[in-house]
Amino acid sequence: MTPFSEMTENNVEDPSKEHFLYSILNPKSLCFFGANNNLLKTMGSFQLWNIISEGFKGNIYPIHLREERVLGFKAYKTVLDLPEIPDLAMIVIPTRYIPEVMEECGQKGIKQLIITSGGFREIGPEGKKFSQQIDEIAGKYNMRFIGPNCLGVYNGWYQPENDKNKLNTFWVYKLPERGTISIASQSGTVASHLFWYAEDIGTKIGQSISLGNSNNIDIVDCLEYFKNDPHTDVLGLYIEEIKRGKEFISIAKEITPKKPIVAIYAGGTEAAFRAIGSHTGSIAGNDTIYETVFKETGIISTTSVTNFLHYLRVLSHGIFPKGNRIGIISDSGGASAMMAKSTERYGLQVPEFSNKLQSEISRVLTDISYPNNPVDLTFNLNQYNLYIKVPKLLMKSGEIDGIMIYGAFGVDEFIEVMEKSGFDTDFFSELGTSMSGVYLKPIQKLSRKYSIPIFYVGPQGYSDPWIREFIALNMPIFDLWDLPAKCMKILCQYSQYRQKFV
Amino acid sequence: MTPFSEMTENNVEDPSKEHFLYSILNPKSLCFFGANNNLLKTMGSFQLWNIISEGFKGNIYPIHLREERVLGFKAYKTVLDLPEIPDLAMIVIPTRYIPEVMEECGQKGIKQLIITSGGFREIGPEGKKFSQQIDEIAGKYNMRFIGPNCLGVYNGWYQPENDKNKLNTFWVYKLPERGTISIASQSGTVASHLFWYAEDIGTKIGQSISLGNSNNIDIVDCLEYFKNDPHTDVLGLYIEEIKRGKEFISIAKEITPKKPIVAIYAGGTEAAFRAIGSHTGSIAGNDTIYETVFKETGIISTTSVTNFLHYLRVLSHGIFPKGNRIGIISDSGGASAMMAKSTERYGLQVPEFSNKLQSEISRVLTDISYPNNPVDLTFNLNQYNLYIKVPKLLMKSGEIDGIMIYGAFGVDEFIEVMEKSGFDTDFFSELGTSMSGVYLKPIQKLSRKYSIPIFYVGPQGYSDPWIREFIALNMPIFDLWDLPAKCMKILCQYSQYRQKFV
């Protein structure tokens, strides 16, 4: 599959640039309310400092009544004094001062804002008053704002030609490698804290929007923007409440045939409603309503944040199976038995191979290996068989639509232990450095050619150097054998949905 | 709860020492068939070399027809030449030579063996013949053996007073820190490959037995041994087939009221049966039968290997809740909404707090925090509140039986980023080094006192230095917020089961 990004980038016109979210994600200049020079005491200072250190290259105007300079930048007493109209105002100050500051932004002609501060409808009647007030001011000046009660935005595509410079208004987080996954979330935590695990497993998030209370800009706006955004191939949503149901359904239906959407709905139980009420002040509905909406619109839903990240990851690789017949290859009987069981339980098939295919497999394996599905290589330690020869036979046979392989071992730990004992490790070391080119790239090429996804599973953690090779190449790798079957099911399910629209 | 190990170790008599598995796990001497000096070519060489390098301190006798020395040890042409009768013989040679070698072992008077080699009933009629042959020879000489088609044993308690020296007949694996979890597995992979993830999350496995085809020593033998073993508090089983059903049920019933058992049953679907048949030659039965057995015996079952390791971990900490009312504390609305939802979905309660408790919580938190369940600290960055004050109020209230806390952040990444930018990080650095004593130890003490388990969740991975502090102290920590509710449910369920026998 050609990534959608590539298809769109060739067009001269990029309709997403006309959307107001484009200016928020790609401001040329910004002013900042609520930062000073003390990182330890104020959240705003940390956010501005993060914007600076992550590589924002536009003009920065801190607004501060007393400071001459804030974090190295000239400070202004009021936004009205600024030498230009900034594309974005970021507001992280006590709630009661926000209406006044917004008025000034409106007078200055600023059209886009991010309001990080909380203390609005989520805290009850008094907050509700403030909430209405900021809505009215935004209406009066025709301003659009994200929040309140949010962390703002992360844009890894702030400079498309340079993935080092980002716009990041969040706190300090480990950033994932840039990819074409975009997140819109009513939880700042889901928008940002997931970055650690995402980076670990190779879920390459390019953009993330923390919507907070969604007073003005909501999840439908994000869908409208990401629909045409050339840097978005897959969307992830965290939902506490959908206010514009009709619009949500309509835009989601337009997107899912081209770009998969994975959604978490957090409401549905009593204590979850309390949590959501105190969180963003949303009025959550029951699970059934949301499940119906997700089903109708082709959205993939999950209640697990781990699955959320794994689904986004495998969907973003863009290799979709044509059916649901899965071939399993393993050097471990236990792992393959468990993978076979979970695959079948998720409604996929693990079909027996034809005699022809079995004898082809037998020809490359040793006596005590098992050539039927799941293929068991047992003590056949020829890695070339595991990575290339057997998978290739399966792909060419036309008998399977997806492959799962257990036993993707890196040799670094062996080398380390052997070196300690004075053994010669040249053989292993050479193997280690050449394996990515010899094993992974050729099989990935075939996987794309046949449109047969291949999932690798190795018992070592995601930090193992060999496992990082898979992640660098966007090849699906898992540390244990529970999730592959789940993820394969999602790929099959989405692929089937997508085929209806071809 | 006093760990069972401590209770038993005070007894002068340790009945487990009389069991034949004790001699296999704690041999004073061993002979080895199938090792030479070429690590790359033979599995046996790697296994013997691993036994040596992991710190086996007894006599080692390699048996080899041609070599004078093997891996530094004097080699003998036949076991009959040995100067003593070894406690254990390990056999990793081609199948067809095994009967002869076993005969010699029998003549020598060796009573315990591990047969790693495969090629028996799992490969069909010819293998079945060999299988019967080794059974007969074992019977004739009154020998007990593990296997065939297995990896052998790992015993971290080989020297109780020294956790550096182990008996490990597996390949090279990252070993988990020693604890009181014992594994008996019909899959060598489950017995050994899980060590990486176990070490990552702090599932402290002390012993692991890879049973293979279970011709002679089976899972019932392991249960009998671990029942009285002072170094076993929790048992993990991977099952492909239970041959002695009646004995299994009877011994499991004796164990579970005192030591929890977690089991994976790998059969139950068509392709899983094929995998199991080619793996250990077992005849797996349907899921319903096994589920009934597990239920009747109080065994906790799972089909997920990830859950298996997490369940073992939290059960091994030995803090069991008295009921199923769960309190949730978080600095993130999204995480707490999702935790609340999953907790309720697993049938636990997330009750509203009394007015009294709510006002006590309000007194320590800021205006915009939420004092009901789930407690939301939002931007209250006072870590003392998150770790100590609020949990303590919950524990003392008598209104909850278990606690889950989201937001267990380490500060190391902040320090690193701040240092790069030239900021003063003394405050954070001091905080980092003192936090374990200030936060974790006191709350752990309270948790034990009230018998209220506390689960911590932080978005950083298990390798983060702060997260390692939790693991070092045997405090349950999770990288994401999906598994805590599941694990808490298992704790509640087991605790309720256990109370019936008090």
Q: Say which residue, A158 or A429, is predicted with more confidence.
A: A158
Q: Which domains does chain A have, with CATH numbers?
A: 18-146 (3.40.50.720), 174-316 (3.40.50.261), 326-499 (3.40.50.261)
pLDDT at B231: 97
Q: Distance between the two ends of chain B, CA-based, in angstroms?
A: 13
Task: Give the best residue of A311, A480, A483 to mutate against chain B (max B CB count within 10 A).
Answer: A480
Q: Say which residue, B431 or A55, is predicted with more confidence.
A: A55
Q: Provide the mean pLDDT of chain A.
A: 91
Q: DSSP readout, B384-422? A: HIIIIIHHHHHHHHTS-SEEEEE----SHHHHHHHHHTT
Q: How confident is the model at residue B431 (pLDDT cuts 50, 70, 90)?
A: low
Q: Do B368 and A123 touch (CB under 8 A)?
A: yes
Q: How confident is the model at residue A279 (pLDDT cuts 50, 70, 90)?
A: confident
Q: Say which residue, A473 or B413, is predicted with more confidence.
A: A473
Query: How far, in Å, CA of A372 to CA of A394, rounded?
Result: 11
Asked if this assembly's ipTM is beyond 0.90, the reply is: yes
Chain B interface includes A441 (CB < 8 A)? no
pLDDT at B429: 62
- Mean pLDDT throughout A53-68? 95
Task: Give the best residue of B189, B457, B460 to mutate against chain A (max A CB count within 10 A).
Answer: B189
Q: Does the pLDDT of residue A238 top 50, yes or no?
A: yes
Chain B interface includes A332 (CB < 8 A)? yes
Query: How far, in Å, CA of B80 to CA of B92, rounded?
Result: 18
Chain B interface includes A283 (CB < 8 A)? no
Using alpha carbons only, give the angle A276, A280, A283 rounded to the nearest 5 degrees.
Answer: 55
Q: How confident is the model at residue B493 (pLDDT cuts 50, 70, 90)?
A: very high
pLDDT at A12: 47
Q: Say which residue, B379 or A249, is predicted with more confidence.
A: A249
Share of chain B above pLDDT 90, in %: 73
pLDDT at B10: 44
Q: Which residue of B194, B196, B373 is in closest CB contact with A271? A: B373
Q: Provide the mean pLDDT of chain B.
A: 91
For residue A368, count CB atoms less than 10 angstroms from its CB and return exposed for 0-12, middle for 13-18, buried for 19 or more.
buried
pLDDT at A290: 93
For residue A72, count CB atoms less than 10 angstroms from its CB and return exposed for 0-12, middle for 13-18, buried for 19 or more.
exposed
- Mean pLDDT throughout B464-484? 94
Lowest mean pLDDT among A34-48, A344-358, A444-458: A34-48
* Residues A62 and A31: beta-carbon distance below 8 Å: yes
Q: Does the pLDDT of residue A493 top 80, yes or no?
A: yes
* Residues B212 and B186: beta-carbon distance below 8 Å: yes
Q: Does the pLDDT of residue B39 top 80, yes or no?
A: no
Lowest mean pLDDT among A128-137, B52-61, B105-114, B414-423: B414-423
Q: Which residue of A187, A280, A341 is in closest CB contact with B303? A: A341
Q: Does the pLDDT of residue B1 top 70, yes or no?
A: no
Q: Does the pLDDT of residue A15 top 80, yes or no?
A: yes
**By C-alpha distance, which of A342, A317, A277 is closest to A470?**
A317
Q: How confident is the model at residue A126 (pLDDT cuts 50, 70, 90)?
A: confident
Q: How confident is the model at residue A7 (pLDDT cuts 50, 70, 90)?
A: very low
Chain A interface includes B240 (CB < 8 A)? yes
Q: Does the pLDDT of residue B422 top 90, yes or no?
A: no
Q: How many residues does chain A have?
A: 502
- Mean pLDDT throughout A326-353? 95
pLDDT at A428: 63
Q: Does the pLDDT of residue B295 top 90, yes or no?
A: yes
Which residues in chain A are contacts of B123 at CB distance < 8 A?
Answer: 367-368
Q: Do A341 and B266 touch (CB under 8 A)?
A: yes
Lowest mean pLDDT among A301-315, B366-380, B386-400: B366-380
The 3-state DSSP class for residue A501 equals coil
Query: How far, in Å, CA of A209 to CA of A146, rounded?
Result: 9
pTM of the predicted model, to two decimals? 0.94
- Mean pLDDT throughout A322-346? 94
Q: What is the CA radius of gyration of chain A?
A: 26
Q: Which residue of B189, B332, B463 is in closest CB contact with A189? A: B332
pLDDT at A378: 74
Lowest mean pLDDT among A57-61, A229-233, B44-48, B181-185: B44-48
Which residues in chain A are contacts of B336 at CB distance < 8 A?
Answer: 275, 279
- Mean pLDDT throughout A371-390? 84
* Residues B321 and B452: beta-carbon distance below 8 Å: yes
What phi and psi, each to the nearest 5 degrees, are found at residue B267? -85, -170
- Which of B:125-164 have CB within 8 Å of A? none
pLDDT at A433: 58
pLDDT at B364: 87
Q: Name the one residue in this structure whose structure tokens are 């107001």.
A: A20
pLDDT at B272: 85
Q: Do B193 and A427 touch (CB under 8 A)?
A: no
For residue A159, count CB atoms less than 10 angstroms from its CB and return exposed for 0-12, middle for 13-18, buried for 19 or more.
middle
pLDDT in tens, A298-333: 999 999 999 999 999 999 999 999 999 999 999 888
pLDDT at A409: 81
Q: How confident is the model at residue A11 (pLDDT cuts 50, 70, 90)?
A: very low
